């Protein structure tokens, strides 16, 4: 997801991002020690110390955002004679160059994640690594952790395996163009044409991903949709906010990564080693979710039930797609945040309520998330029969730290997104917009305008306005530094 952009408007947003990052305890810049360490890294080691398979002949490809440079995963499908399909997910071997307790690792440990703001991306690892030597780049050979699984016609995962291999990226693809092609509304991307047999391979991957998705939904996985808008710049000025829309390509990667993370968690459990788990607990505020469903004339059971909630969300998405993102956001807040915890041998951690899976970790984005790098180190030690890289107390501390920093990172990103929206709207004071109420409580009433997609506070005329009500509003004030956008009822 790492992108390169520049411009005066971004300079202001970058300054705001740096300020908010420091306030939240992040390091915007790498230390002198980390930079010195980076200068000594010139190539990827040829030997890993673990038996490595050579899978460079397989038709691996990456699919990510149009402007992504840090490529964490490759995927490939292999149709088998019994109508099952072997799916392989290759994850970049970051640990091979980022060793524990080095200066670069200490920076990653502190921040725990890449932070994506409208002004600048602040990578967890230096770009020489995350977009270079530890990225699964186009036409490059790279070491990787491969998660292998066979998917049957019912979407069940069989014969999982994990091992280290050499891989080669034959096509760097983008969500938008691949998704349009898979959905039949776009032409075949040139990168697919350039790799013989890749089109058929991707169609097989898409078919299998849809089966995985259907199986998860049978188990109660929640279909939630929020509006995430990214700024569009022209020269020095922010010109628009563009909503990110899921398509068949984003779903393909999402479904494979969920399956790969599930396989990884079960692999570590079966090997009887401590591991980090990504969990979303059974919601404590289920009663409020029940109330919201009742407001939409839908009855949920008194006790938490992910299958029932999934059916309610599907019905509402069909009935009112315009307000569904706001309903989704309310449900997400009531479900509670995800967190990292430690699962010890012979113990069972809570599952992931939203994904309806019992065993789940984060392992597929080690260039971008520190928990994935931790899991990678545990995996490699397990495969090599080496001592564990972290003891129980260290893992518990890391789980709590990563959970906190993820929350902090989300707050930084939201703050800068609000500032970007305020910047875009600053020249439109007095303009009127169509809007929908997204929040109404004692602390304030909030509305979302449709074009551009931005949220602000309704500071006047909010009497009688409740969630879901559509109205006309007039913009009366913006504050870029604080990210404030104020409206009054028009």
Domain ranges of the chain: 8-280+340-422, 286-335, 426-489
Q: How confident is the model at residue 47 (pLDDT cuts 50, 70, 90)?
A: low
Half-sphere exposure of 117 (CA within 13 A, CB side): 33
For the segment 157-186, the average pLDDT, to the nearest whole number, is: 95
- pTM of this structure: 0.91
Taken in order 209, 215, 217, 221, is the CA torsion positive or negative? negative
Contact, 420 vs 13, CB < 8 A?
yes
**479 sits in which H/E element:** strand 470-479
For the segment 372-382, the average pLDDT, to the nearest whole number, is: 97
Predicted confidence at residue 6, as pLDDT, reads 40
DSSP state of 97: T
User: Residues 336-357, buried b or exposed e (16+ Cβ, 10 A)?
Assistant: eebbbbbbeeeeebebbbbbbb
Tell which wins on pLDDT, 460 or 1.
460
Q: How confident is the model at residue 49 (pLDDT cuts 50, 70, 90)?
A: low
Residue with tokens 């409208």: 118
DSSP state of 188: P
Predicted confidence at residue 51, as pLDDT, reads 66
**Maximum Cα interatomic distance, the chain, rounded to a whole number of Å:** 68
Q: How confident is the model at residue 404 (pLDDT cuts 50, 70, 90)?
A: very high
Task: Supply 257's token pair.
Answer: 């990564």
For the segment 333-349, the average pLDDT, to the nearest whole number, is: 88
For the segment 172-188, the average pLDDT, to the nearest whole number, is: 95
Residue 138 has pLDDT above 90, yes or no: yes
pLDDT tens digits along 465-481: 887 788 999 999 999 99
Q: Mean pLDDT, the chain, as a whole number? A: 91
Tell which wins on pLDDT, 409 or 333.
409
Predicted confidence at residue 1, as pLDDT, reads 44
Share of the chain above pLDDT 70, in %: 97
Residue 48 has pLDDT above 70, yes or no: no
Predicted confidence at residue 99, as pLDDT, reads 96
d(CA 431, CA 478): 12
d(CA 136, CA 246): 23
Predicted confidence at residue 324, as pLDDT, reads 86
- Three-state SS at 149: strand
Contact, 438 vs 449, CB < 8 A?
no
pLDDT tens digits along 125-136: 999 999 999 999
The pairing of strands 157-174 and 60-64 is: parallel
Predicted confidence at residue 300, as pLDDT, reads 94
Q: Compute the radius of gyration of the chain from its Cα atoms.
A: 23
Tell which wins on pLDDT, 77 or 7.
77
3.30.70.580, 2.40.50.140, 3.40.50.970, 3.30.420.40: CATH of 426-489: 2.40.50.140
Instruction: Tell me which of 54-58, 94-98, 118-122, 226-230 is least confident.
Output: 226-230
Closest CA to 59 of 136, 193, 170: 170
DSSP string covering 381-412, please?
A: HHHHTPPPSS-HHHHHHHHHHHHHHHHHHHHH
Closest CA to 370 of 111, 37, 41: 111
Q: How confident is the model at residue 7 (pLDDT cuts 50, 70, 90)?
A: very low
Predicted confidence at residue 50, as pLDDT, reads 65
Predicted confidence at residue 451, as pLDDT, reads 86
Residue 33 has pLDDT above 50, yes or no: yes
């Amino acid at each position: 997801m790492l992108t390169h952009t520049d411009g005066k408007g971004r300079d202001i947003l970058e300054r705001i991002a740096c300020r908010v990052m420091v306030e939240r305890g992040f390091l915007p810049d790498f230390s002198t020690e980390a930079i010195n360490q980076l200068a000594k890294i010139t190539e990827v080691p040829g030997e890993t110390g673990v038996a490595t398979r050579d899978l460079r002949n397989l038709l691996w490809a990456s699919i990510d955002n149009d402007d992504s440079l840090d490529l964490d995963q490759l995927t490939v499908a292999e149709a088998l004679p019994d109508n099952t399909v072997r799916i392989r997910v290759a994850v970049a071997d970051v640990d091979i160059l980022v060793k524990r307790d080095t200066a670069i690792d200490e920076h990653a440990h502190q921040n725990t994640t890449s932070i994506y703001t409208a002004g600048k991306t602040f990578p967890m690892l230096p770009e020489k690594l995350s977009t270079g030597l530890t990225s699964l780049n186009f036409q490059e050979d790279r070491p990787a952790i491969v998660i292998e699984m066979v998917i049957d016609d019912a979407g069940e995962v069989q014969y999982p395996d994990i091992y280290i291999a050499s891989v080669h990226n034959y096509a760097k693809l983008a969500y938008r163009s691949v998704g349009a092609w898979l959905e039949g509304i776009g032409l075949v991307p040139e990168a697919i044409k350039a790799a013989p047999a890749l089109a058929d391979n991707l169609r097989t991957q898409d078919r299998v991903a849809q089966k995985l998705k259907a199986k998860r939904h049978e188990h109660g996985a929640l279909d939630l949709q929020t509006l995430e808008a990214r700024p569009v710049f022209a020269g020095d000025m922010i010109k628009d906010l563009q909503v990110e829309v899921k398509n068949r390509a984003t779903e393909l990667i999402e479904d494979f990564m969920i399956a790969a993370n599930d396989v990884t968690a079960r692999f570590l459990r079966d090997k009887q080693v401590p591991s980090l788990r990504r969990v979303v607990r059974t919601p404590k505020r289920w009663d409020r979710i029940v109330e919201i469903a009742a407001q939409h004339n839908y009855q949920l059971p008194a006790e938490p039930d992910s299958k029932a909630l999934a059916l309610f969300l599907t019905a509402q998405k069909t009935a009112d797609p315009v307000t569904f993102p706001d309903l989704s956001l309310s449900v997400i807040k009531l479900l509670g945040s995800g967190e990292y915890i430690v699962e010890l041998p012979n113990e069972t951690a809570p599952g992931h309520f939203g994904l309806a899976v019992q065993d789940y970790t984060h392992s597929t984005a080690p260039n971008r998330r520190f928990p994935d790098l931790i899991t990678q180190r545990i995996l490699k030690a397990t495969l090599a029969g080496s001592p564990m890289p972290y003891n129980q107390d260290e893992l518990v501390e890391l789980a709590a730290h990563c959970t906190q920093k993820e929350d902090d990172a989300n707050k930084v990103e939201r703050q800068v997104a609000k500032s970007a929206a305020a910047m875009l709207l600053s020249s439109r004071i007095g303009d009127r917009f169509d809007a929908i109420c997204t929040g109404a409580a004692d602390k304030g009433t909030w509305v979302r305008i449709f074009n551009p997609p931005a949220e602000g506070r309704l500071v006047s005329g909010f009497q009688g306005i409740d969630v879901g009500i559509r109205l006309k509003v007039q913009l009366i004030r913006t504050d870029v530094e604080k990210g404030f956008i104020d409206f009054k009822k028009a």
